[in-house]
DNA sequence: GTCTATAAGCGGATAGAC
DNA sequence: GTCTATCCGCTTATAGAC
């Protein structure tokens, strides 16, 4: 998918190494700006300056602001989907959910601006993303919901609505990236602080896992 | 606090009923636009049109865009704080947390744009809000953290980090307002659908409460 | 209090030299 | 591929009539 967008969006410059590197630098800079100000609030010359080139030169690589925004979004969505793809039906629920939650929080730490770009797009009603949401992501969520329902049917998970469980996992983990400013104001450090990260992870795991795993010795059926 | 901002921000028009009503209509319209596009992305004439008056007329009530934004934010923050203020140390943890979570989700349903405005401001690093965050809200969160620690000390709550618990509650409840577009794409309805609201509330309560309340017959100490 | 007209400057995009 | 110069529409804010 990244390839598809790439070729569709930028005929020029793909060939040379320097062009490639420039395009990457532009996309990195654009991610920062778009994540903070949204599409309309972002200024193309601000992005150009952050990428270290002139505005017309940026527009040589991406012909319009919208083209650039779409490219950044596509690249981000792909990364965002990865952890969920790996949620594994074959392993036991505790291990699978622990791995998924850990991976999501790790993503909030390593790619906070990517998380914020996605949040920004959602706040605006996902105008540039609706097709992707209703196809790729929907399919993935439906598939993983069935995995969770399977665990519930086997009594290995307490009965919870699968989609709301997924939403709860997304919400709690992404919150640390999206509301970073609030978290730093209220707690001091953010996820980049190792101790804070560990405490956040432990607390989220404790709450969510205890909330959905069966009580000791009482496997449940619906 | 609303009063304080009010008088500081708009000398004109406070006196007459019509002026008051106009100012309210402007603030309502501004909330919608600012929540969707952020400060820089919002257009003042778009707000004026939504409020049903001309752009210069809007600028008669709020002299600058920033002044209007500040007024909307102040009004929103006040409402946003209310549920937390009511978290009651004297009642038992299950009842108090149930009431708080319910109130927060209810707020996401009744005031989704207010929630989104707040989220938008956070994504931008809370430039217009940092003083409020480090004073009013910080004090409140510290106080409520002590309430939660009290419950833990008495063995009425499992040991969890209080702030991370508060973050988890905020994250899960606000998610339904802030990520409404995603939720509708993936689940069909949103919180305005009564059944969906009930399921969301039940799931969140089940997960969070089971995650933090002591197991049957085994009250814990740290 | 509300409007029309307009000033002043910003932002996206293009032309064309190098 | 990259730059300077520039066009043109849009946006905030003000002036001034009613």
Residue with token string 């207010």 = B114
Helix (H, G, I), strand (E, B) or coil at A107: helix
Share of chain B above pLDDT 90, in %: 82
Q: What is the pLDDT of residue B192?
A: 98
- Nearest by CB: B211 against A120, A179, A207: A207
Residue B18: C-alpha distances to residues B15, B23, B47, B51, B110 (Å): 9, 9, 18, 14, 26
Which residues, including other chains, have CB under 8 Å from residue B17's CB and lie 6 or more apart? none
Residue A218 pLDDT? 56
CB B69 within 8 A of CB B34: yes
Q: Kindly determine whether residue B116 and residue A123, on different chains, have CB atoms separated by under 8 Å.
A: yes
Strand C nearby residues, CB < 7 A: A 42-45, 55-56, 59, 63-66; B 12-13, 15-16, 18-19, 22, 53-57, 60
CA distance B54 to chain A (A): 22
The Cα A203–Cα B159 span in angstroms is 9
Q: Cβ distance B29 to B47 under 8 Å?
A: yes
Identify the residue whose Cα has the smallest distance to the C1' of C14.
Answer: A56
Higher pLDDT, B16 or A105: A105
Tokens 């527009």 found at: A59
CATH 1.10.10.60 domain span(s) along chain B: 2-68
Distance B68 CA to D13 C1' (A): 14
Are residues B41 and A36, on separate chains, in Cβ contact within 8 Å? Answer: no
Angle between helices A162-178 and B194-212 (to 10 degrees): 70
Cα torsion at B39, B171, A145, A152 (round to 10°)?
A: -170
Least Cα distance to B36 among B177, B176, B140, B208 occurs for B177
d(CA B132, CA B146): 20
Structure-token match 């040589």, residue found: A60
CB-CB: which of B168, B182, B204 is closest to A204? B168
Please name the residue of chain A whose CA is at the shortest distance from the CA of residue B128.
A181
Q: How high is the pLDDT of residue B20?
A: 82
CATH 1.10.357.10 in chain B: give the residue spans.
86-212
Cβ atoms of B147 and B81 within 8 Å: the answer is: no
What single string gives the DSSP state of each residue in B95-117? HHHHHHHHHHHHHHHH-HHHHHH
Contact B182 A207 (CB under 8 A): no
B9 versus A43: which is more confidently predicted? A43
Which CA distances in Å does A77 have to A4, A73, A74, B141? 14, 6, 5, 34
Q: CB of residue A15 closer than 7 A to nucleic acid strand D? A: yes
CA of B137 to C1' of D12 (A): 33
CB nearest B182 (choices: A126, A180, A207): A126
The two three-digit tokens of residue B21, written as one number = 């009503």
Please provide the CATH number assigned to the domain covering A86-212: 1.10.357.10
Q: Confirm or reject contact between A160 and chain B (CB < 8 A).
A: yes
Instruction: Say which CATH architecture domain B2-68 belongs to.
Output: Orthogonal Bundle (1.10)
Which nucleotide is nearest to A45 if distance is taken from CA to C1'?
C11
Q: Which residue of B has its CA nearest to A205?
A: B211
Integer Cα distance of A195 and A90 in angstroms? 32
Cβ–Cβ of A179/B125 closer than 8 Å?
no
> Chain B: nearest CA to A160, how far in angstroms?
6
Tell me the shortest Cα–Cα distance from B143 to chain A, in angstroms: 12
Q: How far apart are CA A66 and CA A56, in angstroms?
A: 15
Give A179: exposed, middle or buried? Use CB within 10 Å, 0-12, 13-18, 19+.
Answer: buried
pLDDT of residue A219: 53
- A180: contact with B, CB 8 A cutoff: yes
Q: Residue A158 has which token pair? A: 């307490």
B65 Cβ contacts chain D strand, under 7 Å: yes
The CA–CA distances, whole Å, from A169 to A107, A185, B31, B66 equal 13, 23, 29, 36
Q: Is strand D less than 7 A from the beta carbon of B44? A: yes
- Structure tokens belonging to residue B111: 């005031």
The residue with tokens 């104001």 is A185
Task: Encode pLDDT of B109-130 as tens digits.
Answer: 999 999 999 999 999 999 999 8
Q: Which residues are within 8 A (CB) of A84 and not within 5 positions of it... i.e. 6 or more apart?
A: A100, A140, A141, A144, A166
**Is the four-CA dihedral A23, A29, A35, A36 of positive or negative sign?**
negative
- Band (pLDDT 50/70/90 cuts) for residue B8 is very low
Measure A12 CA to C12 C1' (Å).
20
- The CA distance from B84 to B93, in Å, is 14
Distance in Å, residue A131 CA to nucleotide D5 C1': 40
Cβ–Cβ < 8 Å for A105, A175: no
Q: What average pLDDT is seen over chain B?
A: 91
* Per-block mean pLDDT, blocks of 10 residues, chain A (222 long): 46 68 96 98 98 97 97 93 92 96 98 98 95 92 97 96 98 98 98 98 97 75 46
To test the contact with chain B by mutation, choose from A97, A122, A173 the residue with the greatest count of B C-beta atoms within 10 A, namely A122
Q: What is the pLDDT of residue A101?
A: 98
| C4 C1': nearest CA residue | B56
Neighbour count for residue A139 (Cβ, 10 Å): 10
Q: Region B30-55: what's the mean pLDDT?
A: 97
């Amino acid at each position: 998918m990244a390839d598809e967008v790439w070729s569709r969006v930028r005929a020029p410059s793909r060939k040379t190494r320097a062009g490639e590197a420039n395009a990457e630098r532009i996309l990195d800079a654009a991610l920062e700006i778009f994540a903070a100000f949204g599409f309309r609030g972002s200024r193309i010359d601000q992005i150009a300056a952050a990428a270290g080139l002139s505005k017309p030169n940026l527009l040589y690589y991406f012909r319009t602001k919208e083209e650039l925004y779409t490219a950044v979004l596509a690249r981000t969505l792909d990364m965002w989907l990865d952890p969920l793809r790996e949620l594994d039906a074959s392993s036991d629920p505790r291990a699978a959910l622990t791995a998924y939650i850990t991976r999501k929080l790790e993503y909030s730490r390593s790619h906070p601006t990517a998380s914020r770009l996605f949040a920004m797009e959602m706040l605006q009603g996902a105008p540039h993303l609706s097709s992707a949401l209703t196809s790729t992501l929907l399919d993935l969520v439906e598939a993983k919901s069935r995995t969770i329902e399977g665990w519930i049917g086997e009594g290995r998970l307490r009965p919870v609505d699968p989609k709301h469980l997924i939403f709860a996992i997304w919400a709690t983990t992404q919150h640390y990236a999206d509301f970073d400013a609030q978290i730093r104001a209220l707690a001091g450090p953010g996820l980049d602080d190792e101790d804070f990260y560990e405490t956040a992870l432990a607390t989220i795991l404790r709450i969510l896992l205890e909330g959905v795993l069966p009580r000791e010795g009482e496997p449940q059926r619906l």
